[in-house]
Amino acid sequence: MTCGDGDDDRGVADVQTLLRDLRSGAVPPTAPVATLAVPLQVVDAEMPVHEVEPLFLDPALLRIGVLDRADLSHIGLITRSRFNAGMAGRLGYGRAVLTRRPARAVADWDPLVVDPASSVVEAALLAMSRPPEARFDDVVVRAEIWSATGTSELVHALAAALADQGMRDRTTGLVNRHNLEHTLESWAREIRGTRRRLAVTLVDVAAFGLLNAIHGLPHGDRVLTTMAQALTRAYPTGCVLGRLGDDEILIAAVLPAVPDERAREVAEDLRRVSLRALDAAPPGFVDGEWPAVRAVAAVSLQGWADVPLLLQEVHRGMRQEKAEPSTRR
């Protein structure tokens, strides 16, 4: 076995390992591949090639599906590049040889076909596990209406999805602590010298450790995910929500130019939004499964925000709230 063969074997093994981890849930999923696919224009397998050729005069048409009426569950694929190569032929006689032959003669009858619910990452891994000469061929999506996408689109979508996942907390889907702190620092720079302020609300799950001990870690994750979804719906789109700690969610917002007293009122209003959103147990949770939450808020000075000090202030407020629970709701 040569070194190159060993690299190929390892690459295939790596792809198979990733696919196994993806299907077991060890690798986070991405969007379904159907969101990238474009419906295929389909022709009959017996259509003469000279009738197929005018279809490719449309520069937007990248590929054509080919169906045999004897077996509609199996599709062939003619890409623009495959068609052009076939019509050129090895010695330049491709058009003369193929023009009266049926479309089936130039179709690829063994394209990679995936289900519409397959994730982008799974489709990309399957595509990249093909032999080198076919690795970047298009991918067909099986559905009531056949569709397809290019492997380059898959790879770009996969890269974007992985980049997004690198910024998000896997459990809640909110931005992770690193990205949250980066956003806060960026906003702090933006408001410097203006009349705007930075406001933050810290939400903490009461007795989260006990909740995990009684109901198990998966239940705790379900609680956090449900809370994240409820808070995302409750706050305006201009707010950023992130997971700051194990059972802590932070909501950040930039406030417009308002007097000090009004700024504190707005911060308090934002705090109450979280309490209202999480007050009642949502559907699917029985008594004892939905925990109480605490929330504290802080707001910066006008035109100046020190992010570490602002976070320190809400954590200090949360510590006081735990020691001496307030009656504010």
Domains contained in the chain, CATH given: 3-167 (3.10.580.10), 177-323 (3.30.70.270)
pLDDT, tens digit, for every residue of 160-194?
776 666 788 989 989 999 989 999 999 999 999 99
Strand duo 63-68 + 41-44: pairing: parallel
Instruction: Please state the pTM of the whole predicted model.
Output: 0.59
The pLDDT value given to residue 199 = 97
CA dihedral 320, 325, 326, 329 (to 10 degrees): 110
Give the span between the Cα atoms of 135 and 124, in whole angstroms: 10
The pLDDT value given to residue 120 = 85
The pLDDT value given to residue 20 = 56
Taking Cα atoms as reference points, which of 85, 83, 75 lies closest to residue 139? 75
> Max Cα separation, the chain?
89
Positive or negative, the Cα torsion across 5, 11, 15, 20?
A: positive
The pLDDT value given to residue 269 = 96
Taking Cα atoms as reference points, which of 106, 110, 180 lies closest to residue 139? 110
- Cβ atoms < 10 Å from Cβ of 202: 24
Mean pLDDT of the chain: 87
Positive or negative, the Cα torsion across 300, 305, 307, 308?
A: negative
